[in-house]
Each structure stands twice: as structure tokens, then as C-alpha cells.
Chains A and B, each alone.
Chain A
Amino acid sequence: MPDTPTKTYDLLLRRRSTLIIAAVGAAVLGGGLTLVLWPWIKPLLSAQSTFSILLMVAGIGILLSAFAICTLAERKIAGFVQDRRGPNRVGFWGLFQPVADGLKFLLKEDFIPARADRPVFLLAPCIALVVSLLGFAIIPWAGEIHWPWMPAGHTVSTQVASINVGVLYLLATGSLSVYAVVLAGWASNNKYAHFGGLRATAQMLSYEVPLGLGLLCVLLACGTLRLEEIVQQQAASGVWNVFLHPLAFLLVLISTFAETNRTPFDLAEAEQELVGGFHTEYSSMKFAMFFIGEYTHMITASALMVALFFGGWAPLPFGGFLADSTAWGWALVKFGIYAGKVSLFIGFFMLIRWTIPRFRFDQLMRLAWKGLVPIGMAMVVGSGVLVALERERNVFWSLVVNVALLSAALGVARLSKQEITGRQANMPEIEVGPV
């Protein structure tokens, strides 16, 4: 007999109507509260400082719910790729699966192995969570907003913090996230965890270099480190940076895969070799914190790429629509566009995870140091020359430089007769017997 629901809550959870009633109820409750408290909310929305705090709280909430949706989406996409259904038992279409997962994590025993270093063992997941939740602060979600009750000419920015080292702030939080992995690996006092931590450190450090070089190419042409200015430039001119710097985008994309420890770069947790890698000894909420960290890092990194290369909230790669609109309705539309682009990126990340096999460690290192780093250095020089010749806003000349560099790189790789990710020359051929 296939899985008959027996308990009342089980029956309730499986009805589509429960879901709809819950959603409508939540909406009515939220709307009603907002309506009642509106006179108090109004001044909070029009001052930048309080608006930033509201954004911050909303941002954390949105990121955590996005994390919950991501865990479900990841398994649904895995199911789709592997031709099965994915989670479909808890709630209608498996929609309550993240809730069930969260409860399960919370109800598990808080367990620390006897030989672990207790304080560091607890510190590592905290670093993972804290550092990954800091990144979204400088993402310009929807440009500037002018509320109808504000005096003319005044706007608030939909950015938690606008700082003039913008992109470097993201690099700094990224470089701190290495510690979560290395400390988790060390504190566990487990050989799998230790190797996982070491591998992850080497990988994240190596790929931070091409990431920085790729960002540099964009910043060179934009002349600012502020994300909101970079997005505004793209929205106003209508030319997304991805058309000007496709190679730099590729560098940043590959490095982001490696920085977030996603397949094909998930050597840190290669479950077939290292059981679980750096989080082998972690369970209950401490394990969940690493996962929240990983997914949040992925979301923030996608948002960064959207801002740098895909025009942020700009709806179309031509024209210059919405560039100067500050009405709050348009801001909502802009946020929707931004969130849509980010979710496309996340979907891409997930599809890649179930499509491409994992790299071997030497392939990984060669790809970074012999492939991406020289291309990145050449890209910086190329962008510099373009800027010096005042051609950095010209799609044709930018593409010429990009194509020339790519073909030169491929040519060198071809001449050296050693593939970047292939079999290494000094390894013996494996004898394959008759099939």
C-alpha cells in the first residue's frame, strides 16, 4: 500500500487548499498590520538611516526564505535532471519540505565529538553564517526611491550601505569565509575534515586571484568601485557590461563557482572521497549553518554578477529604460527584475551541479594558475589599453580585444599540447581490457 496519510496534520498538509488559505491568511494579516501602523511606518521609510535598517531586516528575512526555497529547488532540479520526482511528500508538491528539514535540524541532538576543539568547533559555523549574511549590504537592489510624501528631489537608496570601496567589501567578506572551512576542518580532528579544509583553502585562495582580475577589468572601464554607480552607468547607457567584457564575466563566473564550493569545484566536500569533507563531524543546526552560508554566498555572488555584468535592475540591454525613474512602483518593478535575474543565475548554478562532474585537484589548480590567471592579467592590460584609447564604451572594439585574447589563449594552450583540465602528461595510461 503506497504511503497512505494517516494523521490529521498529514492530511491537512497534503491539501492544496491548506496552502492557499495559509498564504491568503498571511497576506491579510501582514496587509492589515501595515495599514494600521502606516502613520508610524511612513517616517521610517523616508529617512535613509531607518530605511537602511528596515532593508537590512527585510534582506535577512528574504535571504533566509530564499535559502529555504533554494534547498527545495535544488532537489527538484536534481529530480528533473535525474528523471525522478524529487521531494513530493511534505505538503502539496513538496512545498513544505524546507520547513520539515528545518524542524528536523532543530530537533537533532547538539553533538560535539570528544576529540574536537570545542570553541573553534562552534566558532566555524558561526563564521560561515555571519560572513555570508554580510555581503548583501552593498547590493543596490532597486536604485533610488522617491516616496510620494517626500519633498521633491529627495530620495532614499535601496541599499543597506553605500560605501566607496564597494566591490572590495565583497572581496573582503569572501576572503574571510575561508576561515569557516579551514577552522571547521581543523577543529573536527578528523582526517576527512582536515583534508577537506586544506583543499578548500587552497581552492578558495587560488580562485580569488582570477576573481579579482575579472572584477578589475570592469572597474577599469567604469572608473568606480561603487556598485550602484556601475548599475546606473549600465542602465543609462543601455549597454550591459557583459557585452563589453564577456571574458571577464567568464572569469568571475568560474571563480564564483569555486568560491562558493559548488560543483564542479566541490572538492572540499567530495562525498565519494572525503565522506562530507570539512563538515563530516557536524550535525543538527551547526550543519544547517554551513548550508545557509553556502546558499547565501551563492545568492550574494549571483547578485554581484548581475550588478556588474547584467545591468542590475535595468530591464533591457538597450535603450535605457527606467534609468531615471524613482517612483516606488517602478522600484518594485526594478526589484522584481533584479530578483528575476538572480534566480536565473541560481537556476544555472543548480543545473551545472547536476550536469558537470567534479574536477580533480591538479586539474583545479592548473585551471586557476595556468589558465585563468594569465588570461586575467592579459585582460587587465587589454582593458587598460582600451581605456587609454577611449574605446572602453565601444562594444565593437571591446569584443575585438576579447576575441583576440581568447584566441591567443586557446592558441597557446593548443601549442603547449597540454590540456588545462585533461590528463596530466606524467600519469600512466590506464589499460582498458576487452569489453
Chain B
Amino acid sequence: MNNVPSAAPANSDYGSIAILITIVTALALAILIASHLIGPKRRRGPIKHGTYESGVQPIGTARRRFNVRFYLVAMLFLLFDVEILFFFPWASLFSRIKAAGDTGAVHHVWATAMVEGGFGSGFFLVEMLIFIGILFVGYVYAWRKGVFQWD
């Protein structure tokens, strides 16, 4: 890992991702430009360049207000996404906590003390169960209130 113009020594793998992004973006632009150059240029016209709505004259613009449900989906997604992202550090850590000697994962003094004191994984499980539990209450409440009702 020496030749790649990397952002930081610890991050040299992101250097190859940066190169990948560059290559792929260049590819996309090349496709667009090639298609523009090679394709035939024909006459323009109001009918040809009109919006396609199965042959019917389009009424008004397509960019209108829509059902609040879609907004709700985005909000719920955000909610659960944040929840899941809070799980990830826990998940990648949890199975490594068991051995108190695994200091590569648990380097906090208190955490090590907890593990040595026999609380170990049970303690960390309970922490997460409380987190999920509170959310589950909210989930059941939202279900009962008809948030997940689509019609």
C-alpha cells in the first residue's frame, strides 16, 4: 500500500475508492457525450418534444403536491435508520466483549472492570434491550394509531 495517492496513511483503501469513483464518473460522462455525438440530430417540434402521456394532451404540470403518506414513509425510514445505525457499533462489538482479555475491542477502564466483575455481555445485552424496548413501545403505539395502514 505505498503507491496510491492516499488521503491519509491509515486510509489508503479509500484512495482506491476515490480512483474508482473517478473512473466510473468518467465512464458515465463518456457514455453521455458519445451518445450525444453519435446519435442522429433530427427536427425539433412541439409535438415531438411534448410530455408523453399516452397520446393525451398533458394537463398542467406533473410537479404537484402529493399524499402526506410519502412524507410519513421518509420520516419512519429516518427513525428506524437512526435506530439501526445505533445498533451497528453495538453489534460489531458485542460478540467480542465476552473475553475480558480481548482488550482490542474493550479498552475503556470501566468496561473492562464490568467484564471482569462478571457483568460482561449480559450487561451490554440489557442496555440494548432497554433501547429496543422503548422503541418497540413506540412501534406498537404507532401501529395501533394506524401509521402503517395503507389504503
Contact = CB atoms under 8 A, between A and B. Distances in A.
In the complex, A touching B (Cβ < 8 A): yes
A202 B77 CA distance: 9
Interface in A375-398: 377, 380-381, 384-385, 387-388, 390, 392
Interface in B123-144: 124-125, 128-129, 132, 135-136, 139, 143
A312 to B, nearest CB: 19
Interface in A270-327: 275, 280-281, 284-286, 288-289
Contacts, number: 218
Contact of B16 (A49, A198, A212, A385): A49
Contacts of A108: 35, 39
Nearest to B51: A190
Interface in A56-71: 56-57, 60
Bin the interface of chain A by size.
35 or more
B76 A369 contact: yes
B110 interface: no
Contacts of B29: 126
Contacts of B80: 209, 212, 373
Interface string B49-61: 1111110001001
Interface of A: 47-50, 52-53, 56-57, 60, 105-110, 113-115, 122, 125-126, 129-130, 133-134, 137, 160-163, 168, 186, 188-194, 198, 201-202, 205-206, 208-209, 212-213, 216, 219-225, 275, 280-281, 284-286, 288-289, 361-362, 365-366, 369-370, 373-374, 377, 380-381, 384-385, 387-388, 390, 392, 424, 426-427
15 contacts: A106-B34, A113-B50, A126-B28, A133-B24, A161-B16, A194-B62, A205-B73, A206-B73, A206-B76, A212-B85, A213-B84, A220-B91, A365-B148, A384-B94, A387-B94
Interface of B: 1-4, 12-17, 19-21, 23-25, 27-29, 31-32, 34-36, 38-42, 44, 46, 49-54, 58, 61-63, 66, 69-70, 73-74, 76-77, 80-81, 84-85, 87-88, 91-96, 98, 121-122, 124-125, 128-129, 132, 135-136, 139, 143, 148, 150-151
